Amino acid sequence: MISVTTWNINSVRLRLPIVQKFLKEHGPDILCLQEIKCVEEQFPAKALAEAGYEHQAVCGQKGYHGVATISRLPIKEVSRHDWQANGEARHVGVEVVGKDMVVENVYVPAGGDVPDREQNAKFGQKLDFLERMASWADAVDRPTLIVGDFNIAPLESDVWSHKQLLKVVSHTPIEVEALDRFKQAHDWVDIGREHIPHPERYFSWWSYRSPDWRKNDRGRRLDHMWATGSLAKQAKGHHILEDARSWEKPSDHIPITTEFDI
């Protein structure tokens, strides 16, 4: 069995204590972090190795973005794609040594505030990123898991109010359509929704602006785990850790874990 977690940590150095807490209490085999907000030399590699995660693939950037995959199992970095074509650190891909499994860790751009390519360049960059991901997916030829902060909540039950968020970036029809094109490019299986079926509520992010996130529960499912068909059939368990949103100095995202019978 191999367990894989995805978590937008929103600064790995600032939130190292809760990463260590999570690893100690839940111990996934592989942890994929997004928005690490540091260059590779600043990544807390030693502390995480001491926690048992000595195998690491880090694609960092000063102060912004960045992704890292750490593992108790041997991994080999196989790719870094610049799907935004601007040099930002938003992807790292690894293969699990000795296993027929590739884990792609991605941080899709948020896209700014205005859902219009002409008025908002960041939104156009987000759509272009997704189109490049779709082109890449056409050529995937191994059992692959792609995880991370997709910054899109595609289903009505992925947001606290479908009606109120239809014109809000992350839930607009144009983003949902772009994500669906990526999904269809390789017939990806949405692991989360295989285990927590629509229309059941499923959130992974709650804004810091909400004073009582649990009571107000204005969440969105921005974080995803999608697998190729053969690998999806090996997914035996899927867990979301909402309590992590209440930990000391929390990320606004929570960890999501899937176990595979490999």
Annotated domain spans of the chain: 2-260
Token readout for 142 is 């191994």
Strands, E, within 9-112: which ranges? 30-34, 55-59, 67-71, 75-79, 91-96, 102-107
pLDDT at 248: 96
Q: Is residue 85 over pLDDT 90?
A: no
Tell me the pLDDT of the chain averaged across its residues.
97
Q: Is residue 43 over pLDDT 90?
A: yes
Token readout for 217 is 């529960």
Q: What would the mean pLDDT of 93-120 be, rounded to a whole number?
A: 97
Q: What would the mean pLDDT of 162-172 be, rounded to a whole number?
A: 98
Confidence of residue 52 (pLDDT cuts 50, 70, 90): very high
Q: Report H helices in 59-172.
A: 121-137, 162-165
pLDDT at 109: 97
**How far is Cα 163 from Cα 250, in angstroms, rounded to an integer?**
28
pLDDT at 86: 92
What is the SS3 assignment for 219?
strand
Residue the block writes with tokens 């144009």: 174
Helical (H) or strand (E) element with 47? helix 45-50
Q: Can you say how many angstroms the Cα of residue 110 is from the centroid of all Cα atoms in its chain?
A: 12
**How far is Cα 44 from Cα 16, in angstroms, rounded to an integer?**
8
Confidence of residue 116 (pLDDT cuts 50, 70, 90): very high
From residue 40, how far is each of 48, 95, 162 by CA, in Å?
13, 20, 39
Confidence of residue 26 (pLDDT cuts 50, 70, 90): very high
Q: What would the mean pLDDT of 242-251 be, rounded to a whole number?
A: 97
pLDDT at 211: 80
Amino acid 9 reads I
For 2-260, CATH gives 3.60.10.10
Q: Is residue 117 over pLDDT 90?
A: yes
Q: What would the mean pLDDT of 201-217 be, rounded to a whole number?
A: 94
Confidence of residue 139 (pLDDT cuts 50, 70, 90): very high
Question: Whole-prediction pTM value?
Answer: 0.98
